[in-house]
Structure 1
Amino acid sequence: MQPTMQQLDIFADSRDVMLRNDVLEQLQQRNATAARTALERLAAEYPGDGALSAMTALVRDLGSGSTAPFADHAALASARRHLEDEVVPAARRVLPAQTVHAWLAPCWRALAARAATLAFRGTDAVNHAAPLWLLAGDWAAAREAVEGIESWWRIPAPLAWMTEARYRAAGLDAAWPLLAELAWLAPARFAALLSALGDASLDTLRRRFDAAFPGTGEVDDYAWFPAWLLVGKPALAGRLGEARVQRNRAASRATALLGEILRREHEGDQHELVNLRQEFSRLHAGLFDTYMATRKVQHR
């Protein structure tokens, strides 16, 4: 029996789908040669196909595969912009959503490896291997890259990278000391990292902080997040006590002081508590009132 005209139309409509799927299959296998062949077949039969430009960008990226170290930061910046502006949108355009991150990971890994010899520059922090290793999902390599930066814990960008690497590799409990240090040093970066981590418990704490902390409502309030957290969750005193105290920052001193207050409370040293509480109240009166409300005692 001869196929009807309607059946022929269905076959014609499904032909482009089949050819697109052929390209996608080879892309997901990262087979550059086979992907290029499949792409050429699709382009020959359907030159106006809407997925052609995105697929072409991905096939070209698969075939580029340079492993040569970047000569300078400008070369890395150019390669990174290409990946961010062309390859990433193309991957999101044509690949299944659940596979995009895994497909892009080798791309970021290749850039990170090529950037390994480039020194950290504070004025151009994004062009360094560490954030690329994070995008590649290699937490150990990210940590190693950050450790190569002198005094990284005193610089917002590498401290944020190390904090994320610690969280991704070992979880929230292990990351608390670095999260505290980041909040004190760079509140805006701390807030941005909380959003990026997507941790349900952190998101809940952040909402509570935003609603209850007696601050100005500005992003700098997040410097006080560790101290505020300690008021409500004294069990974290040990973890937060591992953070490097930044004596030139009131919020850091307040967190350390509150840890000492909690210890004195446990020991029942009422005389010393009076002095410590007075010192705490001078650092942040509103947070001190919050703390005292949880103790149901009168400040003397």
Structure 2
Amino acid sequence: MQLDIFNDSRDVMLRNDVLSALKQYDAAGARRALQALANEYPDDDVLVYFGPIVNALEGRSTAPCGRHEAALQACQALSHEVQPAVARAFPGQSGATWLAPLWAELAGRAAALPFRAEHADAHAAPLFLLAARWAEASDAISRIASWRRIPAPLCWMTEARYRLDGLDAAWPFLVELAWLSPSRFDQLLSRLDDACVNRLRRAFDMSFQGAGDLGDLAWFPAWVLTDKTGLAPLFKRAEPSRQNAPERAAKVMLGLLSLERQGRHHELLETRRELQALNAALYAAYMKTR
């Protein structure tokens, strides 16, 4: 919402009073300004979304969440009630920036809660991500036992590493996530919106002849190596996961690239047959570039 601060009409002045207080996170001032607006213009449309924002400011707390359910309830209130209202009041990225301190506060309140897969959104890590506090998110994830073998925390760490250090640092985690949870991999690519990865994803979707569902994305790392051989050193850093067929195919692709560099033709032919047995579509993509 953009209000003309040079417009001297009474309703615009009162709206700007509310906005000014909200920008300063002044709960008491925002409530007074909102009440003044409601008194004079009870049918003003902005009351519908100013109200939840002021309520959120008045309800701010640093008290620890004693139970996962309490953290989830607070998270849902911010997501479903406050965030849409903030998007109306503060257009564009400014809305996310305004909300960041509230997400950070909730992350702090949830910091003592252990990770529970059934209550994953109640963990501090995804809340720190929403607050754009990447290092704190990474620290919270690192304290989860076996986080690299669990889809949710692996996804969170992948985003944290991307935000902190860029795509090269995130590639090993992206590879592991594609193997472990293609659906979360798909969701994360949408959030990251990285131009390089987006180009690869579009090419993969157009050319890979798989089952035609999200499960195909597990083959994405191996497929990338059929053309982007320069990524091999980064992909080698991915740790073993479930040892499923897509993971084995990626390992075979890394082996093929090594054999090609060494000119070991007999072993190369045998390894190509291994790739073909794992996935004919992947083998076809590989041979197309040879």
TM-score for both structures, normalised by structure 2: 0.94
- Using the alignment, how far apart are the partners of 2:168 and 2:160 within structure 1? 13
Is residue 242 of structure 2 the alignment partner of residue 238 of structure 1? no
- The equivalent residue for 1:179 is 174
Equivalent AA in structure 1 for residue 229 of structure 2:
P
Q: Decide whether aligned partners of structure 1 residues 12 and 246 sit closer, same or farther in structure 2, where only a CA change above 3 A counts.
A: closer
Q: What are the Cα deviations for residues 225-284 of structure 1, in whole angstroms up to 9, with x where unaligned?
A: 000000010000000010012352111111111111111111111122122112111111
Q: Which residue number in structure 2 is paired with residue 52 of structure 1?
A: 47
Counterpart position of 1:273: 268
Write the distance in 1 (CA, Å) between the matches of 2:85 and 2:102.
Answer: 13
Matches within 5 A, 1:196-275: 196-246=191-241, 248-275=243-270
Do structure 1's residue 165 and structure 2's residue 160 form an aligned pair? yes
- Spell out, residue by residue over 1:36-60, the C-alpha distance to the aligned partner (whole angstroms, 9 max, x if none): 2222221222222211232122122
Q: Is the 8 A contact 2:179 2:242 kept in 1?
A: no
1:90 to 85, 88, 97: 85
CA 1:14–1:98: 2 relative to 1, 3 Å: farther
Bigger Cα Rg: 1
Identical counterparts, % of pairs: 52
Letter in 2 for 1:216: A
Give ranges in structure 2 of 5+ residues lacking alignment.
1-5
**Secondary structure at the residue paired with 1:120?**
coil
Deviations 1:150-196 (A, max 9, x none): 10111111111111111111111111100000000111111111111
Aligned residues: 285
Aligned to 1:232, the other structure's residue is in SS state coil
Partner of 1:293: 288
1:101 corresponds to which of 96, 101, 105: 96
Structure-to-structure mapping, 1:143-162, within 5 angstroms: 143-162=138-157
Deviation of the 1:101 alpha carbon: 0.6
Query: Greater shift after overlay, 268-277 or 170-179?
Result: 268-277
Shift of 1:86: 1.4
Tell me which of 22, 30, 35 is aligned to 2:25: 30
Counterpart CA distance in 2 for 1:93 and 1:285 is 50
Cα shift at 1:12: 10
Q: For residue 256 of structure 2, what is the amino acid of its counterpart?
A: I
Q: TM-score, normalised by structure 1?
A: 0.91
Q: 1:283 to 1:33 in 2, by over 3 A?
A: same
Q: Which has the higher contact order (CA 8 A, sep 6+)?
A: 2
RMSD: 1.6
